[in-house]
Structure 1
Amino acid sequence: MKKRMLTAAALVATSSLLLAGCSANGGDGGSSEPIVIGTTLSLTGPLQAFGTNLELGYETAIEEINAAGGLEVDGVQRQIELIVQDNGSDGDKAAEQARSLVLDDGAVALLGAATPPITIPVSAAAEQLKVPVISTITPIQAFLGGNPDGYKYSWDVFFDELQMTQTQFDAADTITTNKKVALFTDQEEDGKVMGGIWETIAPDRGYEIVYRGEFPVGNANFASQVSAAMAANAEVVIAQVIPPDGIALLKEMKAQGYDPQIMFMEKAGNTGGYPTITEGLGDGLMAANWFAEGMGLDREQEFIDKFSAQIGGVNSDLGTLVYGYSIAQVLFDAIKAAGSTDPAAVNEAIGKTDGTFPAGKIKFNADHVSALPAVQTQWVGNDMILITDANGKSVNAVIAPMPGLAK
């Protein structure tokens, strides 16, 4: 599936420019043609929640620019056209679509997908094509692990797992447990990286990993893993799974009567409406987050007021929209600063980004990443409530044990 996005107002403005025979100097030869940006997103499949909300964030940023007359490039106001393809949550398909967006549709740059299994193949395609791509909702260490030789055209804005994994222990410290931890991690990039970090830092935080279950993505049978975690008497559970696997894990825990004092679920737990999707089992589930009311982010309340009803609450879906909006702004600022849509010039300008956006302060380092802080949140109804801030300070009390499993 391929979608083109250009607002009605943008179409009128573009037609007017063309009829006027608008021309200018240098850069792109004074072109008034729309600037084509491409994106391959997981609009279907297990990662659908990330894709649809990124798309909404991209569209919101583009609609604002187009409604204001377009993006100024070398003195000419130009509309932005977004071409969207659905990769079905398949990394190989995403890479193929990224190439098509550039070679067939003429995209001068790409806005990224979400999660390492999709982002890394798209980044590899961008590197081959020498066209910039800015991604988000992709943990930084996993992103960097996708190209040990380093990126030249690929950029990532998200949290660093080294900081994020501390948030689980920060939140767990606020309640009484036996400090025994069971890990459930899948074998994709996130699971490997986060699982390794949790195992490393747990002893320093006074916790003991008493069980670690590892399994392939798409696992539907957690009977033996849950039994082992229960036998190990783990009162703290930390999981890194895709949304369907998270549902299967919660159902098995409920079936066996396993209700730990506190449970964290990364990736799956960042899916909007997760307590409803899990038929109530996810009520009280914890998840590291990149957006929550009370973080004090730029335009935080504005985005909450405008989109929370549409999104279905103040949760990670809203955060994904905000991050998508922000990296789109980064790209458009870079095109304007470059005064050109030449990929090399735009890429160089992206590297000079240094500003505050709704997602936070974005400034890339030599590895092409900009780390933003993660916080810890808990599902209460349709909202994810801020529990501890990025520095580990308690903001709201944890509801424990987790209501969804304790009922």
Structure 2
Amino acid sequence: MRTKTTARRSFLLGAGAFMAAPAILKNSRAYAATPTLRVGHVSPRTGPLAGFAEADEYVLGGIEKAFAGGLENNGKTWNVEIISKDSQSNPNRAAEVAADLILGDEVDIIVAASTPDTVNPVSDQAEINEVPCITTDCPWQPYFFGRNGVPGEGFTSTYHFFWGLEDIIGAFLDMWGQSGVAKKVGGLFPNDADGNAWGHPELGLPTPLAAAGYDLVDPGRYQPLSDDFSNYIAAFKNAGCEIVTGNMIPPDFATFWAQAAQQGFNPKVVTIGKALLFPSVIESLGDRGDGLSSEVWWSPSHPFSSSLTGTSAGDLAGGYSAATGRPWTQPIGFKHALFEVVADVIKRAEDLEDPEAIVSAITGTNLDTIVGNVNWANGPINNVTKTPLVAGQWQKQGDAYDLRIVANSAAPNIPITADLKILG
């Protein structure tokens, strides 16, 4: 049977003899009275994607408590050590810290979340080094095709759960269909992995929007952290766009939205992925945050509970707010679910000293988590399984904003909590 040492032997030999000692120490650890399994975690704690990691400290604290007594595998209790590193919202840094976790800390499993800028480089490092990897919080198309995945072949060590662009398109169309506004849509797509996937002629939004009778105006890719959206705004005004959509980081949307007001562009529906996920971003926009809309991957209203702690979605979100004084955010559920899957895999793996046995346990997952069922046998493509998606709108309640679910046709078990309002 293949051990961790043999699985990485080719790299270790190429890297030099100094790498051999940690590998030997790692194996000796497994035969201790209470062996330790190491889980690496990569997340954008700082930089423009930091909103995705805002709840990391709270979630990881809860997971460490749940793991405190160890996890049982084949009659033996294993300690679980989590080693978390900051990608700084930079793909190159994400790859660097993933390599550190794999080759320096010698983790047994690595996990990552928060957009292709984090997920893809971490997954690539895991695939190269044959380390079991589980990721989330990135649509599956930029995850799979952004890593040059080949349908029918896929990857060996890396697995992903989230929704796909087909789901977000369905959720957006469901919401827009209630609005009664003109089917003219302005598209804002950055020149990055997400933007290129969302704007892709066949795999992204253009083809399905056209099939649904919508005219997408796409002026082309903009560079992230752009300071001027005048050309885009002019194109949208000239075309009579009443809907604006796309995938942006928060600073880019704030710039666009301020310039739209200055230049007299007032769309009736604004539905932006990524940028409008977080209450802190909406609050920073003041009154102009009211009525903006986005996809909703997880909320306190989701009818799911943790397989690890039994905590409901509502209680997990409420616990975060009580502990921090801040509003709940969507990544809380998926960050928690990552470690639900890790715990389940640890308990079921035939041999935690064998990476292939861990991968086999990942592929055999069929787990009801706090974000829904995770089962790689039911995926749309190799190495991918999907979780449900609905659409929501930020609506002001007193002095605070709340993300209300306004469209749920693809997941009717997730309840609608408000009617869609038109901007202006």
- TM-score, length basis structure 1: 0.86
In the alignment, is the contact (CA less than 8 A) between 1:288 and 1:374 conserved in 2? yes
Equivalent residue, structure 2, for 1:355: 367
Equivalent residue, structure 2, for 1:323: 334
Distance, in Å, in 1 between the alignment partners of 2:29 and 2:382 is 28
Q: CA deviation at 1:295?
A: 3.4
Q: Does 1:244 align with 2:263?
A: no
Q: Does 243-252 or 361-370 show the bigger shift?
A: 361-370
Equivalent residue, structure 2, for 1:18: none
Q: CA deviation at 1:30?
A: 5.1
Relative to structure 1, is the Cα distance of residues 276 and 341 closer, same or farther in structure 2, using a 3 angstrom cutoff?
farther
Q: CA deviation at 1:189?
A: 1.8
Distance, in Å, in 1 between the alignment partners of 2:148 and 2:53 is 23
Relative to structure 1, is the Cα distance of residues 237 and 210 closer, same or farther in structure 2, using a 3 angstrom cutoff?
same
Relative to structure 1, is the Cα distance of residues 58 and 355 closer, same or farther in structure 2, using a 3 angstrom cutoff?
same
In the alignment, is the contact (CA less than 8 A) between 1:33 and 1:79 conserved in 2? yes
Q: CA deviation at 1:341?
A: 4.2
Distance, in Å, in 1 between the alignment partners of 2:403 and 2:252 is 20
Relative to structure 1, is the Cα distance of residues 156 and 390 closer, same or farther in structure 2, using a 3 angstrom cutoff?
farther
Q: Secondary structure at the match of 1:202?
A: helix
Q: Does 1:147 align with 2:148?
A: yes
Distance, in Å, in 2 between the alignment partners of 1:230 and 1:355 is 47
Match for 1:147: what amino acid? Answer: N
Q: Secondary structure at the match of 2:294?
A: strand
Q: Secondary structure at the match of 1:79?
A: strand
Q: Does 1:157 align with 2:170?
A: no
Q: Does 250-259 or 50-59 show the bigger shift?
A: 50-59
In the alignment, is the contact (CA less than 8 A) between 1:171 and 1:388 conserved in 2? yes
In the alignment, is the contact (CA less than 8 A) between 2:140 and 2:165 conserved in 1? yes
Identify which of 363, 385, 394 aligns with 1:379. 394
Distance, in Å, in 2 between the alignment partners of 1:289 and 1:308 is 18
Q: CA deviation at 1:282?
A: 2.3
Q: CA deviation at 1:206?
A: 2.2
Q: CA deviation at 1:62?
A: 2.8
Q: Does 1:266 align with 2:273?
A: yes
Q: CA deviation at 1:205?
A: 1.7
Unmatched segments (≥5 aa) in structure 1: 1-25
Distance, in Å, in 1 between the alignment partners of 2:374 and 2:57 is 20
Q: CA deviation at 1:343?
A: 2.2
Q: Does 250-259 or 32-41 show the bigger shift?
A: 32-41
Q: CA deviation at 1:210?
A: 3.5
Distance, in Å, in 2 between the alignment partners of 1:324 and 1:191 is 23
Equivalent residue, structure 1, for 2:44: 42
Q: Does 1:313 align with 2:327?
A: yes
Unmatched segments (≥5 aa) in structure 2: 1-27, 306-311
Q: CA deviation at 1:27?
A: 11
Equivalent residue, structure 2, for 1:14: none
Distance, in Å, in 1 between the alignment partners of 2:243 and 2:111 is 37
Q: Secondary structure at the match of 1:169?
A: helix
Relative to structure 1, is the Cα distance of residues 280 and 303 closer, same or farther in structure 2, using a 3 angstrom cutoff?
same
Q: Does 1:113 align with 2:108?
A: no
How many residues were matched structurally? 372
> For each residue in 1:151-174, what CA deviation from the matched residue of structure 2 results, as whole angstroms up to 9, or x when unmatched?
111111111111111211110111
Equivalent residue, structure 2, for 1:13: none
Q: CA deviation at 1:225?
A: 1.0
Equivalent residue, structure 2, for 1:122: 122
Q: Secondary structure at the match of 2:420?
A: coil
In the alignment, is the contact (CA less than 8 A) between 1:54 and 1:323 conserved in 2? no
Q: Does 261-270 or 101-110 show the bigger shift?
A: 101-110
- Percent identity between matched residues is 24
> For each residue in 1:92-144, what CA deviation from the matched residue of structure 2 results, as whole angstroms up to 9, or x when unmatched?
11111111112111211111131112211111100111111111111101111
Greater relative contact order (Cα < 8 A, sep 6+) = 1
Match for 1:379: what amino acid? Answer: W
Distance, in Å, in 2 between the alignment partners of 1:30 and 1:302 is 37
In the alignment, is the contact (CA less than 8 A) between 1:127 and 1:151 conserved in 2? yes
> What value does the CA root-mean-square deviation take over the aligned residues?
2.1
Q: CA deviation at 1:312?
A: 2.8
Equivalent residue, structure 1, for 2:62: 60
Distance, in Å, in 2 between the alignment partners of 1:362 and 1:329 is 10
Distance, in Å, in 2 between the alignment partners of 1:184 and 1:269 is 13
In the alignment, is the contact (CA less than 8 A) between 2:42 and 2:113 conserved in 1? yes
**Aligned positions of 1:332-351 closer than 5 A:** 332-338=343-349, 339-351=351-363
Q: CA deviation at 1:42?
A: 0.6
Q: Does 1:399 align with 2:421?
A: yes
Equivalent residue, structure 1, for 2:291: 284
In the alignment, is the contact (CA less than 8 A) between 2:48 and 2:249 conserved in 1? yes
In the alignment, is the contact (CA less than 8 A) between 1:292 and 1:385 conserved in 2? no
Relative to structure 1, is the Cα distance of residues 103 and 200 closer, same or farther in structure 2, using a 3 angstrom cutoff?
same
In the alignment, is the contact (CA less than 8 A) between 1:34 and 1:79 conserved in 2? yes
Relative to structure 1, is the Cα distance of residues 34 and 192 closer, same or farther in structure 2, using a 3 angstrom cutoff?
same
Q: Does 1:275 align with 2:282?
A: yes
Distance, in Å, in 1 between the alignment partners of 2:129 and 2:234 is 49
- TM-score, length basis structure 2: 0.82
Match for 1:205: what amino acid? Answer: A
Match for 2:149: what amino acid? Answer: P
Q: Secondary structure at the match of 2:189?
A: strand
**Aligned positions of 1:85-234 closer than 5 A:** 85-145=85-145, 146-149=147-150, 150-196=154-200, 197-234=204-241
Q: CA deviation at 1:215?
A: 0.7
Q: CA deviation at 1:34?
A: 3.1
Equivalent residue, structure 1, for 2:16: none
Q: Secondary structure at the match of 2:286?
A: coil
Distance, in Å, in 2 between the alignment partners of 1:55 and 1:346 is 26
Relative to structure 1, is the Cα distance of residues 351 and 27 closer, same or farther in structure 2, using a 3 angstrom cutoff?
farther
